Amino acid sequence: PPERWFCLPSCRRYVAGGQCKSTVRLEGKVAIITGANTGIGKETARDLARRGKSAAVIVACRDLEKAEAAASEIRAETGNQQVIVKKLDLADTKSIREFAEKFLAEEKELHILINNAGVMLCPYSKTADGFEMHLGVNHLGHFLLTFLLLECLKQSAPARIVNVSSLAHHGGRIRFHDLHGEKSYNRGLAYCHSKLANVLFTRELARRLQGNCPELFAFAVGTKVTANSLHPGSVHSELVRHSFVMTWLWKIFSFFLKTPQEGAQTSVYCAVAEELDSVTGQYFSDCQPAYVSPRGRDDETAKKLWNVSCELLGIQWD
């Protein structure tokens, strides 16, 4: 019926969700985006590159060939020649340390760190350091990267850390007795657990950056470095490539999924929006504050996860 076709544009606008309306320029700023060779990471890099031809956008990826193809496309489209590819394998702490060392040797400032890369629904496997793959890449890899770059962020302040989590954090638990899934493993739940870890990491990081002042938790008054997490939405991307069933469903229901460009909007919003200059420790979806699960608001679990993460990575982060 004609009325059904009339509803389709409205339905599509609803699926697309919120848009970042900020026109902030990033001339002279430096941003790092992990996993920016495809999906929402690539679209986030494209958006930031458009915001100033002197804005340095570091595309940090494991697959250099795909990353260079993406960066070349973005450079040609935006005219920004400062879209730079750097090798980063979040499943290998040696690669993370090498990336950070080279970055700090070449760049004096860092204003935006977007921890975007991730894996989803992987068959059971471990990283180079023996961590379960979801936990190792989605949480521990970004935890270590942030630790190594934090002083540079502080010295460049105001600066922002953006952690891409997911609505899936509602289904997660931090299973301290079996963090690496050696006793029992479910690939869907492993993803949920890692996304909850992203939310808890963001919460504890924000608290520490603000001088351990709970009453000032929502506002950046300490280091002028903010940390926020987000849900990008259900996005038609390569993230489900490890699951035949999910890949099939994603194709069938693609009309009801966000495009990568639509999915990148909340990442961009958290990275540039003026109204978030002093907002920290929060969780966003569709460019607005969103509900966090009770487990995602558990400060004791957040502190314990922080300490356990430091132990696993062999670092001291006080």
For the annotated catalytic residues, the residue numbers are 191
Pairing of the two strands 30-34 and 112-115: parallel
3-class DSSP assignment, residue 221: coil
Report which of 84, 80, 67 is spatially closest to residue 31, judged by C-alpha positions: 84
Tokens of 105: 């040797």
Instruction: Look up residue 166 and give its DSSP letter.
Output: -
Q: With beta carbons less than 8 A apart as the criterion, state whether 196 and 169 touch.
A: yes
Chain centroid, CA 177 distance in Å = 26
Length in residues, the chain: 318
Pairing of the two strands 283-285 and 159-164: unpaired
Q: How far apart are CA 278 and CA 275, in angstroms?
A: 8
